[in-house]
């Protein structure tokens, strides 16, 4: 049984964005404008936790295998819009 990673509400919110777009490991998702500005610190924390990989493309991030697992462990809330 794998160990669950404890994530903050903000980190879970960002991972739900990846789930909303049905992202799998290695697929790049681009954050831009206000979304990138708002989530930049959280994206960096998730990268430091090795759940995301920062891509060379500006605002581009992709899930690692661990990030994909953590994304699937997040509680899904249908009313979560951001």
Residue 82 in domain: no
Residue 78 in domain: no
Residue 33 in domain: yes
* Domain residue limits at 28: 9-73
Instruction: Look at the chain and report how many structural domains it folds into.
Output: 1
pTM for this structure? Answer: 0.85
3-state secondary structure 22-63: CCCCCCEEECCHHHHHHHHHHHHHHHHCCCEEECCCCCEEEE
- Which CATH number goes with the domain that contains 35? 1.10.10
Summarised one tens digit per residue, pLDDT across range 5-42 is: 789 999 999 999 999 999 999 999 999 999 899 999 99
Residue 50 in domain: yes
Q: Which two tokens stand for residue 24?
A: 């799998």
Cα–Cα distance for residue pair 32/38, rounded to 1 Å = 10
């Amino acid at each position: 049984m794998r160990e669950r990673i404890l994530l903050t509400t903000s980190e879970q919110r960002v991972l739900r964005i990846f789930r909303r777009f049905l992202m799998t490991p290695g697929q790049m998702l681009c954050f831009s404008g206000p979304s990138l500005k708002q989530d930049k610190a959280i994206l960096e924390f998730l990268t430091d936790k090795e759940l995301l990989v920062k891509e060379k493309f500006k605002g581009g991030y992709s899930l690692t295998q661990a990030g994909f697992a953590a994304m699937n462990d997040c509680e899904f809330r249908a009313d979560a819009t951001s």
